[in-house]
Amino acid sequence: MPSARDVFDTLNADYLIVHKTKEDLFWDTYMAVSDNDVGFAQAEQAYKDFISDPKRLAMVRSALASLPENETDLSEKALRSGLQGWVALFECNVIDSDAGRQLMGELIGLESDLFTKRRALVLQHLNEAGLLEDATLSTLATNMGTNPVEAARKSSHDAMLTLEQWVLDNGFLDIVKKRNAFAREQGFDNYFDYKVQKSEQMSTAQLFSVLDDFELRTRATNSRALKELEDLHGPGATAPWNLRFYVSGDVTRQLDPYLSFKKGLERWVESFRRLGITYRGATMQLDLLERAGKYQNGFCHGPIPSFFDATGQWVAGQINFTANAKPDQVGSGARAINTLFHEGGHAAHFANVTQNSPCFSQEFAPTSMAYAETQSMFCDSLLDDADWLKRYARNAQGQVIPDELIHARIKTTQPFAAMAERGILVVPYFERDLYRLTDAQLSPKRVLDLARECEKRILGVAIGPRPLLSIPHLLNQESAAAYHGYLLANMAVYQTRAYFERTLGYLTDNPAIGPALAEHYWSRGNGISHNDTLLSLTGEPFNAKYLADSCNQTVDTAWIEACAQMEMAAKRDYPQPPTQNLDASIRIVHGTEVIADNCESDHAMCQKFEQWVEQHYPACAA
């Protein structure tokens, strides 16, 4: 019998191999630099086989049982903690039956087929010039938010509706049936129940006790905002292709010169550095621009999770993240900086897990999606702060964003803060009800009707500006039935922000924030629950009050707070950041092309990136 130490070390080494193999192929296929879909499906299956193997779970349990009950040696305590991490991972993923493993294999095959077909699908819309062009989901959403021509905005929404029907006609319903069959084999009523329990360690009833409470708290604010929008712009303002535009379109256009795409990389590097965020020697690869065949949603995955190995040596993370920017499109700069902060927040989290096994620093169960998204959404929340805008948002002439534009932004967006969160909320209501349908009920018409019912009930409009079945998360089993994690995360984000505001006084460029997040939120990885991270930092258990209160704020109150932020920031003597760089080897790629890297310095990388953008997108040179 191998010793407990041998079991632990073997698991760490073997996991790194199957995880990295899968993640390298994931990147190549999702970035459209390889068409080895068969190889990726095989690697995905090998990874699933590893984490769902009941024999490995039994082996780890046996190794744990062999340890003395009262360890006094620190290395023995660390070994027990590491083995417990493996137990948690296997318990979340083990498939006990041959039938279950067979169903999982069939499910991976169905999803791989759908992904291959989706990659070849081309959507089109009318752009700012009135020309028909190929469009990604990001481009469609931005066009609906900024294009002043209603027919062009409608063409973007029509493309999303086309995608909805395509999804229903090309195998998604078979995937839903197979997911439910797999969940029933695991002893659950349906796949939604299975995923919530495995991902968040909650029952569906417990989850919806939180979601129902938030829905009720924000219902009146959402209804009032829609009515006021129609009163101001007419009944057509709440048409799905107009909603984004009338909520923020003109302000987004005015903001565009102050949030140019080419400056996004520099602003991310500088802002994170001044927050005291570092990546502990990680190797990072960023693919930021749209491209034919590339996966149309930003993500962050880590082929090599960070950890201390058996000799106590630090294994730095290898991390990839992506965006889908179109630099010459109005609003692309704001979307790009949001993605950089969001995915960069994920990367900071996973690069700073300091446990003794890679099982603690990976994005899949038992890592809670709500816990993981708290890290990224906290970082991108800073972009809405008036003091961040005054410090970083500058036009090509170096002029600072005027107070009047920040006020206009608040005046436009604050009434719809509840609607924005309810745009997340609608997804779990839909997915819960989707997976409750019987196989006989899973017809394209019934599912479309369900989508429209949920959008009407939660969003208050006949069709959502982002139709539910156009959301890519629904198609992949890792992100399916998990979208509620974004809303739970944002609740934790506002709780975290409130704590820092109380104790530190400000957020933007506060060098105490990165170390505090690393200590309380990141270091233990999935070895600590989401609720316990909040208790560790804020002293309070998880609650939704802070986010609901923020959504229900009036424009006047939000503006008063913004003015106070700007006034204090103008007087503040900002401390020097604790680090001169992000402590990461970074390269910016476009498919197989390397645009820039920081071998010389972060500053040189940002300059090369700007030059490349100006060369390839002349409209960005101004």
Please list, in sequence order, all residues whose beta carbon lies within 8 angstroms of the beta carbon of residue 372, skipping any fewer than 6 positions away: 346, 349, 363, 485, 489
Same domain, 50 and 156: no
Q: Is residue 605 part of a domain?
A: no
Estimate to the nearest angstrom the gap between the alpha carbon of 377 and the chain centroid.
8
Nearest Cα neighbor of 301 from 377, 367, 357 is: 367
Same domain, 187 and 277: yes
SS3 471: coil
* Whether the Cβ atoms of residue 168 and residue 447 lie closer than 8 Å to each other: yes
Per DSSP bridges, beta strands 584-590 and 593-597 are antiparallel
Same domain, 358 and 223: yes
Peptide bond into 366 cis (omega under 30): yes
Same domain, 319 and 464: yes
Task: Tokens for 173, please give them.
Answer: 């319903």
pLDDT of res. 281: 98
Range of the domain at 13: 4-94
Q: Is residue 622 part of a domain?
A: no
* Whether the Cβ atoms of residue 278 and residue 582 lie closer than 8 Å to each other: yes
Same domain, 439 and 394: yes
pLDDT of res. 622: 65
Q: Is the dihedral angle over the CA atoms 588, 593, 599, 602 positive or is it negative?
A: negative
pLDDT of res. 96: 85
Same domain, 246 and 339: yes
Same domain, 14 and 132: no
Q: Is residue 530 part of a domain?
A: yes
Same domain, 253 and 371: yes
* Whether the Cβ atoms of residue 116 and residue 37 lie closer than 8 Å to each other: yes
**What whole-number distance in Å separates Cα of residue 447 and Cα of residue 455?**
12
Residues of the chain with pLDDT under 50: none
Domain count, the chain: 2
Estimate to the nearest angstrom the gap between the alpha carbon of 160 and the chain centroid.
21
**What whole-number distance in Å separates Cα of residue 458 and Cα of residue 427?**
9
Same domain, 157 and 88: no
Q: Is residue 107 part of a domain?
A: no
CA distances from 401 to 259, 406, 408, 612 (A): 9, 8, 12, 25
Nearest Cα neighbor of 296 from 475, 153, 499 is: 475
CA distances from 18 to 13, 110, 476 (A): 9, 21, 19
For 497-560, the DSSP string reads HHHHHHHTS--TT-TTHHHHHIIIIITTGGGS-HHHHHHHHHSS---SHHHHHHHT--HHHHHH
Q: Is residue 105 part of a domain?
A: no
**What whole-number distance in Å separates Cα of residue 545 and Cα of residue 541?**
11
Q: For residue 512, which amino acid is it?
A: A
Q: Is residue 111 part of a domain?
A: no
**What whole-number distance in Å separates Cα of residue 95 and Cα of residue 97?**
6
Same domain, 333 and 433: yes
pTM of the model: 0.94
Same domain, 308 and 429: yes
In this predicted model, what pLDDT tens digit does every residue of 584-615 receive, in sequence order?
999 999 999 999 999 999 999 999 999 999 99
**What whole-number distance in Å separates Cα of residue 215 and Cα of residue 136?**
31
pLDDT of res. 292: 87
Same domain, 313 and 433: yes
Estimate to the nearest angstrom the gap between the alpha carbon of 510 and the chain centroid.
23
In this predicted model, what pLDDT tens digit does every residue of 405-445 receive, in sequence order?
999 999 999 999 999 999 999 999 999 999 999 999 999 99
Q: Is residue 23 part of a domain?
A: yes
CA distances from 501 to 496, 497, 508, 522, 565 (A): 9, 6, 10, 20, 11
Q: Is residue 366 part of a domain?
A: yes
CATH number at residue 227: 1.10.1370.30
* Whether the Cβ atoms of residue 409 and residue 251 lie closer than 8 Å to each other: yes
Q: For residue 132, which amino acid is it?
A: L
